[in-house]
Each structure stands twice: as structure tokens, then as C-alpha cells.
Amino acid sequence: MTKDLLIEIGTEELPPLSLQDLAVAFARGVAEQLTAQGIGHGSYSTFCTPRRLAILVSGVKVRQAERVISRRGPSVSAAFDAAGQPTKAVVGFARSCGVAVESLEREESEKGTWIVFRTVEAGALTARLIPQIVELALAGLPIAKRMRWGAGDAEFVRPVHWVCLVFGDEAIPGTIMGITAGRDTFGHRFHAPGPRAVTHASRYPELLRDGGFVEPSFEQRRALITTQVAQIAEENGVVVDLPSDLLDEVTALVEWPVAFVGSFDEAFLSVPADVLIETMQKNQKYFPVRGVDGRLRASFVAICNIESKSPAEVRKGNERVLRPRFADAKFFWEQDRRRPLAGYFSELESVVFQDKLGSVADRSRRVAKLGTMIATSSAVDPLLVERAAMLAKCDLVTSLVIEFPSLQGVMGGYYAEHGGEPAVVCSAIAQQYYPRSAGGELPGTPIGLVLALADRLDLLVGVFGIGHRPTGAKDPYGLRRASIAIIRILVETPLDLDLHVLLAGAVAHFPPARLSQDTADAVFVYVLARLKGYYQEQGVSLDCVEAVIAAGGAVISQLDRRIRAVQAFRNLPASESLAAANKRISNILAKTDISFAPDTSPDPLLFTESAERQLWQSVCQLERRIAPLIRSEDFSGVLVRLAELREDVDAFFEQVMVMCEDAAVRENRLVLLMRLQALFLNVADVSLLR
């Protein structure tokens, strides 16, 4: 027999940014505990609002499954004497199990025959186990800091006010977090504040929606907000910005969303739109409004948590709160522009970037030097790169960026433009932090690309060089993000630059002996390791990446072309056979102490088998044919040509004994294999393909 199970934890307002994670973790924890307890169940639905976490599980068994309990006793040889009579050992074992010796069974194993006791234990009633299951699920939630309330010992992310446990149509007695469980839930704090009895677990969602003024489903609440905002946009002929992260946060702040339009003084539009948008989104959780031309309008859309009888008053209240925030932003904007952006550089001298790495001004000088080096090799004006680098961090000490740190770079671009700096310098300053996320937009100008690249390289080299390397989940300097940004800039732009050269240049601009000697090599290895994750997200097989990395190379854009070629090579009929052959070659060469120069050739006079003569002839021909392909970096073409070797390689290993007794013949064959392997290593070590 099965029933639906409802578990609801009612709390004070939960942190909105972690609400979804808490709800998912809670539901998963309950489901895992049911399974661990041997309680069969069907699918489950997750519910969460600012004041509750809930799960509705369908088809839950009313009783645990029966369990077979088995205990092993003494071996048969120790349990019975020569006359077949039970010994004290087996008699004592039977007594401890509460049965006669005759009721015990025998079990065969690799180590002999043993006496065992088996019995079937009836499963406990599910209702009796639910309180413990809930406590364990709550204890396993990802809560960074728990709080206590009242006189009890319970700890949770927020104080718990009620617990609703309903199994089918029955309330489950018990105590959770010091609260006595019952069948009552509670509706909206203002519209339906009283208790609402859940007569059946399956009716929980509708009970809250119908008269409770609570939409318990996060997804449906989010959809309601989206629909209401879309309707407002259509009615007013505007476009409303709905960034996903803000939409999630607003959804987590309300139980009964009601969208409305507010406005503000058009005089504030003289402030850059980025500042106004940041104020609306971060401080007030409002959605900015644009015209069809994309320009910001003097209005916003907000989400209220009640159906007010005086919506005009609600709108006025929200407009009144926004006004002083915009006034502050306008004041900061006007104050910051009283001096040119370069005038703030002297203040960076006293802003410490890191104790061992100096001030932000020191860092700006290093980035400027590295940027000019990169610019020189990338056909970019080094003077403009240097100017952009020296101005790039100046906005960090401006009032607006101190108030809104996420606008760093953005405001620098505005202030540089106001000061008459070249347009390419202004855009580079604004783009220096691109990409801001793993899949974010890359800098759109050559100077912006160089500046963003130099900035990340200096960060990685500096932090690695003083020993603050990422460990486990700890990465306070964002070095993983910096590495992925470097990879994306070099691959997706692309910039055909040697990473070894870039890192050596970055190291050279630090004071002597400031960094550890292995800094450049350590950073190089670290960045290459990030390549694996970068390509896995694109569906590229991990072994393709490993095969290319193993073959060497430091021009990341070239590594990308080789990885793509190897991925295509895997689809060729000959790839599996050639990968196996290369693996065999690698094993053979690894076992010999003899080393050969790359240009060493085998002596045709020492060939004794037709298969080795044929293979050497094919290798010589392919070396000539693929040379121009390698120069033009047509790595797919190289591997297609090398696939032609399949029959000759198979014949060689079928007919030729490489490690023969004749030392001269053996070494000659090893040289042939070395030259064969070298052909593939121009692209990848295909022996690593699985």
C-alpha cells in the first residue's frame, strides 16, 4: 500500500540567493533517506517560497521492506566435535541469537563452511520513521552558517515556526527542530495569515493557491512574474530587462507576485544607464525598462508581494525609495568627473593589491609593460595599450565604483571618454574584465583583448609566484576564471601567441627574486589543465585533449586546431587500429635505453622483412606529403594522410619481431618505429586515445 507524503518546514524569510539550492538539497535528502531506510517511493515535487521548504512525494510505501538479517558464527569444524556433537562455541552462538542449534544454517565460502543465523525482520511503519528522516535531511543542507533562536538547541538557516507532516490523509506526530508537527500550513503573511489544515498531502499545492495567496512552486511563480512583465511591456510598448539571476532572486522574495510599473525623474537619465540599472537591480530588485530603440526609459517594473487595495500608494512608495538612491548616484557621477581619470592614478599607490605584490599602481605598471610586449607581437599599437593599462584601474578609487564595485571598468570607460581619451582606449578600459563569466562576452577590440590578456597573465604569475596557488575549492583570487579567460581569448579570437613566451614576459616585469623560480612552468601546467574542462563543456572527448597536450606545444590557438583535428580523426575507420599501434610503439620505445636523434634514419640494408621495407617507404613518402600541411597547420589533413598507414602498420606488427636477438637489426627497427611515431606527434600522441 502506498500514500502521498507531504513535508513542509515553515520558517522566517529564507535567504533568497540560496532558496533554490536549499529546496533542491532538502528534497534530495528526503528522497535519499527514504531509499536508505528501505521505503519505496515514486517521484517527488519540490516547493519553496520565502517562508517554506516543502516536498510532496508520491507513492510512498506505508512500511519498510522486510529485511533479512544474517549473522555468521563459528566454522563448522569448530561448531561440532568428531562425534558430530555441538561444541560450546555453537551453543553459545545459538543462545545469543535466541534459537536452538538445529535452527542454524550453513554457508559455503572460499574460506570454508560456516554456521550462520538468518531471520526476517518486519519493516517499521513509515510514519514512525518520517521525523527522523526529516531531521537527517535538514542536517545535511548546505548551510554555511546556522543560527539558534529562543531557548532551544535547534539550529537552522532561519528560525522554524511550523512543521507540517501529512501522510495520505493522516497527520504524522513528531517533533522537528523543537516544533511539534501537525497538519497545518500557513498562507500569505497578510492575505491569509491563519492556519490552513492539509486534509490530504496531494491537496497541499492547491490549498495554498486557492485562498492561501501563495504560489508554492518556484517555477510557476517565476513563470507568473515573466507573464505579468511581458503583459506590461506589451501594453506600454516597451522592452523590460529580465536578467535570469535577478528574476530568480525576485521569485525567491515573493509568495504572491504582482507586477506594476513605476517611474522616476527623467533628469536622472543624464547619469550613465549602467549606473541607473545597477542601482535598480542590485539595491531595489527592479527590472529596468527600455524603449524599442534600446535606450533606457525613466520607468521600471517592480514585483509586489501583495494584492494591494491601494496600488497607487505602493507605486509611489517604491518611487520614493528609488529617488534618493538615484540622487546619490548623480552626485557621485558629477563629483568623479571634476578631475580626469588619470588624476586618480596617484591614489592607487596607497591601495594594496597584495602585500608581496605591491600596490594597484605597481600592478598597473606591470600590465602596461606586458601589454606593450604583447601588442608589439600582435600588430596592435603599443602606445595605446600602455595608455589603456595605466588608466584601467583608476576608477577603483572613484566614488561611484566604491559604491558599486561591479561597475569597475565600466565607469573607467565613461570617465576616460569624458576626459577626451581615444575611443579605443575608452572601450578597452570598459572591456578589461571581459569575459566576466565562463561563457561571457570577449573584448571586442584588439586593445581590449591585449589588455584583458595581460591583466590575467600578471594575476596568475604574481599569485602563483608567491605561493598562493589554488587548493581544492579555495580560489580567492579567481585564478581558475583567469585561466579560462586566457584560453578563450587565445582560442576564440584567435591570437596565435606562445604561452611560454607570454608567461616569461609576465615574470620578467616583477622585481628580481620576488617570484619562485618555477612560476612560469607552474602556471603553464595549470592553464593547460584547465583546457580539459574547457573542451569537455563543448563535448570534446577528454582523451583528444590529453593526446594533443602530451605531444607538446605552447601556442594555445594551435593546440585548439590540433584538438579539433584529433576529434575528427577518431571518426575515421583507421583510428582505432592506429591508436593501438601507437600505444604498442610507445610501450616498445619506453622499454629501451637507446635514444635516437629526431633525424636518425634506419638503414634499408638491415631490413630483412618486406613489411618493414614497405613501412619505411610509406613513412618517407608521408613525411614529404605532410610537411606542407604541417606548415599550413592543416592538422586534419595530416591525420587523414596518416590514416593511410593502417595496412602497412598492421602488416609490420604481424610479420616483424621488433625486439629480435640481432642488436643491429633490433635498433634499426626501433629507429623506424621512432620515425613513424614522430609523424603522429606532429599533431598528437594518438596512443592516448581510448
Q: Where are the domains of the chain?
A: 2-64+125-209, 67-120, 218-336, 342-539, 573-688
The pLDDT of residue 473: 76
Cβ atoms within 10 Å, residue 673: 27
Residue 168, pLDDT score: 96
Global pTM? 0.81
What is the spatial distance between Cα 498 and Cα 138, in angstroms, rounded to a whole number?
51
pLDDT value, residue 122: 78
CA gap 269, 333 in Å, rounded: 12
Q: Give me the phi and psi of 531, to 5 degrees please.
A: -60, -35
Q: Distance between CA atoms of 258 and 307, rounded to whole angstroms?
A: 7
Question: For residue 472, what pLDDT is reported?
Answer: 75
Q: Give 67's pLDDT tier (boundaries 50, 70, 90).
A: confident
For residues 35 and 56, give the distance between their C-alpha atoms in angstroms, rounded to a whole number. 15
* Confidence band of 111 (pLDDT split at 50, 70, 90): confident
Looking at this protein, which amino acid is placed at residue 394?
C
User: Among the CATH numbers 1.10.760.10, 3.40.50.2300, 1.10.730.10, 3.30.930.10, which is that of 573-688?
Assistant: 1.10.730.10
What is the arithmetic mean of pLDDT over 429-447?
Answer: 93
* pLDDT, tens only, 178-200: 999 999 999 999 999 999 999 99
Q: How many Å apart are CA 279 and CA 485, to the nearest integer?
A: 28
pLDDT for position 471: 81
Say if residue 109's pLDDT is above 90. Answer: no
Q: To which residue does cell 508537527 refer?
A: 181
- CB burial readout 380-409, b (16+ within 10 A) else e: bbbebbbbbbbbbbbbbbbbbbebbeebbb
Q: What is the DSSP letter of 47?
A: E
**Percentage above 90 pLDDT, the chain:** 83
166, three cell numbers: 501529512
Are the beta carbons of 165 and 181 closer than 8 angstroms? yes
Tell me which amino acid residue 602 is: P
DSSP string, 420-466: T--HHHHHHHHHTT--SSTTPPPPSSHHHHHHHHHHHHHHHHHHHHT
The pLDDT tens digits of the residues spanning 326-351 come to: 999 999 999 999 999 999 999 999 99
CA dist 454 and 377 (Å) reads 13
Would you state the pLDDT for residue 475? 87
Give the DSSP per-residue string, 275-329. HHHHIIIIII-PEEEE-TTSPEEEEEEEEESS--S-HHHHHHHHHHHHHHHHHHH
Measured at the alpha carbon of residue 182, what is the angle toward residues 181 and 186, in degrees to the nearest 5? 105
Amino acid 424: pLDDT: 96
pLDDT at 112: 85
CATH of domain 342-539: 1.10.3210
The pLDDT assigned to 132 comes to 95
In three-state secondary structure terms, 575 is helix
pLDDT classification of 409: cutoffs 50, 70, 90: very high
| Cell 563448522, residue located | 76
pLDDT at site 110: 80
Spatial distance between the Cα atoms of 160 and 216, rounded to a whole number of angstroms: 17
Q: What is the pLDDT of residues 200-259, one digit of tens each?
A: 999 999 999 999 999 999 999 999 999 999 999 999 999 999 999 999 999 999 999 999
- Enumerate residues 6+ apart whose C-beta is below 8 A from 559: 531, 548, 549, 553
Q: What is the pLDDT of residue 596?
A: 81
d(CA 505, CA 520): 9
What is the rounded (10 degree) CA torsion for 85, 89, 93, 94?
20
- Long-range CB contacts (within 8 A, 24+) of 23-30: 23/47, 23/48, 23/53, 23/218, 25/140, 25/141, 25/142, 26/53, 26/55, 26/137, 26/138, 26/141, 27/55, 29/136, 29/137, 29/138, 29/140, 29/141, 30/55, 30/57, 30/133, 30/134, 30/137
Sheet with 2-11, side-by-side order of all strands: 44-49, 52-61, 2-11, 160-167, 170-171
HEC states along 488-532? HHHHHCCCCCEHHHHHHHHHHCCCCCCCCCCHHHHHHHHHHHHHH
pLDDT above 80 (res 293): yes
Q: Which residues contact 452 (CB under 8 A, 6 or more apart)?
A: 431, 432, 433, 434, 442, 443, 485, 489
What is the pLDDT, as a whole number, of residue 15?
Answer: 96
* For residue 78, pLDDT beyond 90: no
Question: How far, CA to CA in Å, does 636 sit from each of 174, 536, 564, 615, 639?
Answer: 67, 20, 8, 22, 5
Distance CA 296, CA 432 (A): 24
Q: Does residue 127 register a pLDDT over 80?
A: yes
Q: Which of 304, 218, 158 is nearest to 20 (CA)?
A: 218
pLDDT recorded at residue 137: 96
pLDDT of residue 84: 86
User: Please, which pLDDT band fits residue 407 given cuts at 50, 70 and 90?
Assistant: very high
Q: What is the pLDDT of residue 382?
A: 96
Mean pLDDT of the chain: 94
